[in-house]
């Protein structure tokens, strides 16, 4: 399948979608990557926008396609610990323990970079972010390409990350050469990021692997508390205030107040409004247009972005979300929702 759209930057404007489970598609993707192009591919978290991670010119195309500020560093995806070792100054015992336990998987590890990591990937930082994704297509691509792939989420900066190939196409048609179709992603939100370049290690972004699981291996983690100032957001752009945002206005409400807010809004506006709640316990009046996510953090994460994309494509303008539970296992969902909400 081919899809084209105008591109102000003069890049080739045809986006091809191929079945990622087909061997021939992987070969085609490798040849696109070797010639400096961009390939979107599924991982277990979200779809990534991949380029040759050791080629500065290819990596520059990622920033151009996403409209991503050059101050935001990228994650290098690797097929194995061996490849990761070649990209850091020193592969530490802690890194080894974390990789043994969580790789392939949704954990990104930050360490001081070796000399071969281009400056553009690191956004000038002395560190590099590394992850080995747990997805058949991603691993086959990485192994066949035989090198690291820089791959942020395959969407324009600040938009909701893609969990299906059509989300990639909606955001980046004409700006990515090839999309490997692997269906919907399983985890549905971005990886957990841990910075091992400081002591104690710091949680830079909550994700599918929760802090408690990391602390069993690394001991007490440092964390960012409350609103993240802009300078820190530069270290981990996923932490900037408005990110992962749908087109609709999104607000967050206690379960007990959700229906009142919904009814008030309904009376005062002609806009298309919807409530999103967790589980089946919140009682909603029959006239309340709503969606339900599982009252379980992994199930809710898996469907969160897909629901936001669906609501956007159905033309909703106001989304009233129930506030997730306050426990640690809900940290990643709470984080993504608060960044998707107006005002951060």
Backbone angles phi, psi at 52, to 5 degrees: -55, 115
Q: From CA 3, how far away is CA 155, in angstroms rounded?
A: 16
H/E element, 131: strand 127-131
Number of residues binding to ligand AMP, judged by CB under 6 A: 20
* Residues β-bridged to residue 2: 16
Based on the shown chain and the rule CB under 6 A, indicate whether residue 162 belongs to the binding site for ligand AMP. Answer: no
Q: How far is the CB of 235 from ligand AMP (least distance, A)?
A: 5
Based on the shown chain and the rule CB under 6 A, indicate whether residue 75 belongs to the binding site for ligand AMP. Answer: yes
Q: Which does 75 bind (CB under 5 to 8 A by kind): Mg ion, ligand AMP, none?
A: ligand AMP
Pull the structure tokens for residue 191. Answer: 């990886």
Number of residues binding to Mg ion, judged by CB under 5 A: 1
Q: Which stretch binds ligand AMP (CB under 6 A): 124-132, 137-145, 217-225, 307-315?
A: 124-132
Q: Which stretch binds ligand AMP (CB under 6 A): 91-99, 127-135, 165-173, 222-230?
A: 127-135
Residues in the chain: 344
Q: Which of 141, 204, 308, 337 touches ligand AMP (CB under 6 A)?
A: 204
Q: How far is the CB of 155 from Mg ion (least distance, A)?
A: 6
* Residues β-bridged to residue 232: none
Q: Which does 25 bind (CB under 5 to 8 A by kind): Mg ion, ligand AMP, none?
A: none
Based on the shown chain and the rule CB under 6 A, indicate whether residue 152 belongs to the binding site for ligand AMP. Answer: yes
Identity of the residue, 203 or 288, whose beta carbon is nearer to ligand AMP in the bound complex: 203
Q: Which of 153, 160, 163, 192 touches ligand AMP (CB under 6 A)?
A: 153
Q: From CA 315, how far away is CA 332, in angstroms rounded?
A: 26
Pull the structure tokens for residue 5. Answer: 């759209």
Angle between helices 93-102 and 211-218 (to 10 degrees): 140
Identity of the residue, 229 or 315, whose beta carbon is nearer to ligand AMP in the bound complex: 229
Identity of the residue, 318 or 335, whose beta carbon is nearer to ligand AMP in the bound complex: 335
- The SS3 call for residue 291 is strand
Q: How many CA atoms within 13 Å lie on the side-chain side of 218?
A: 29
Based on the shown chain and the rule CB under 6 A, indicate whether residue 156 belongs to the binding site for ligand AMP. Answer: no
Based on the shown chain and the rule CB under 5 A, indicate whether residue 153 belongs to the binding site for Mg ion. Answer: yes
**CA-based nearest residue to 48, from 171, 214, 202, 210:** 171
Q: Which stretch binds Mg ion (CB under 5 A): 2-10, 88-96, 136-144, 149-157?
A: 149-157
Q: From CA 305, how far away is CA 292, in angstroms rounded?
A: 13
Identity of the residue, 33 or 75, whose beta carbon is nearer to ligand AMP in the bound complex: 75
Residues 217-276 that bind ligand AMP (CB under 6 A): 235-238
Q: From CA 238, how far away is CA 206, in angstroms rounded?
A: 10
Q: From CA 316, how far away is CA 319, in angstroms rounded?
A: 7
Based on the shown chain and the rule CB under 6 A, indicate whether residue 149 belongs to the binding site for ligand AMP. Answer: no
Neighbours of 279 (CB within 10 A): 15
Residues 15-74 that bind ligand AMP (CB under 6 A): 72-74
Distances in whole angstroms, Cα of residue 303 to Cα of each of 69, 297, 306: 28, 10, 5
* Residues β-bridged to residue 275: 290, 320
Would you tell me which residues interact with Mg ion (CB under 5 A)? Answer: 153
Would you tell me which residues interact with ligand AMP (CB under 6 A)? Answer: 72-75, 110, 122, 125, 127-129, 152-153, 190, 193, 204-205, 235-238
């Amino acid at each position: 399948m081919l899809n084209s759209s105008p591109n102000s930057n003069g890049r080739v404007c045809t986006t091809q979608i191929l079945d990622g489970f087909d061997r021939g598609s992987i070969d085609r993707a490798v040849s696109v990557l070797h010639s400096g192009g961009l390939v979107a591919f599924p991982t277990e978290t979200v779809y990534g926008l991949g380029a040759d991670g050791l080629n500065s010119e290819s990596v520059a195309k990622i920033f151009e396609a996403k409209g991503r500020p050059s101050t935001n560093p990228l994650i290098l995806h690797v097929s194995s610990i061996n490849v990761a070792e070649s990209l850091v100054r020193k592969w530490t015992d802690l890194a080894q323990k974390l990789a043994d336990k969580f790789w392939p998987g949704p954990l990104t590890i930050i360490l001081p970079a070796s000399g071969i990591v281009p400056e553009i990937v690191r956004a000038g930082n002395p560190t590099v972010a590394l992850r080995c994704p747990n997805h058949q297509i991603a691993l086959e691509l990485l192994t066949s390409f035989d090198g690291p792939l820089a791959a942020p989420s395959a969407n324009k900066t600040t938009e909701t990350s893609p969990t299906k190939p059509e989300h990639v196409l909606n955001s980046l048609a004409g700006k990515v050469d090839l999309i490997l179709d692997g269906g919907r992603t399983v985890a549905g939100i971005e990886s957990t990021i841990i910075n091992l370049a400081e002591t104690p290690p710091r949680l830079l972004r909550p994700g599918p692997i929760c802090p408690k699981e990391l602390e069993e291996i690394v001991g007490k983690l440092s964390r960012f508390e409350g609103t993240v100032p802009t300078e820190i957001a530069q270290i981990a752009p996923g932490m900037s205030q408005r990110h992962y945002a749908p087109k609709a206005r999104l607000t967050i409400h206690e379960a007990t107040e959700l229906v009142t807010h919904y009814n008030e809004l309904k009376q005062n506006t002609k806009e298309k409004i919807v409530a999103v709640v967790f589980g089946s316990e919140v009682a909603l009046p029959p006239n309340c247009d709503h969606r339900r996510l599982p009252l379980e953090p992994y199930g809710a994460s898996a469907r969160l972005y897909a629901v936001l994309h669906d609501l956007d494509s159905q033309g909703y303008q106001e989304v009233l979300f129930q506030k997730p539970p306050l426990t640690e296992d809900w940290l990643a969902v709470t984080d993504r929702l608060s960044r998707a909400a107006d005002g951060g």
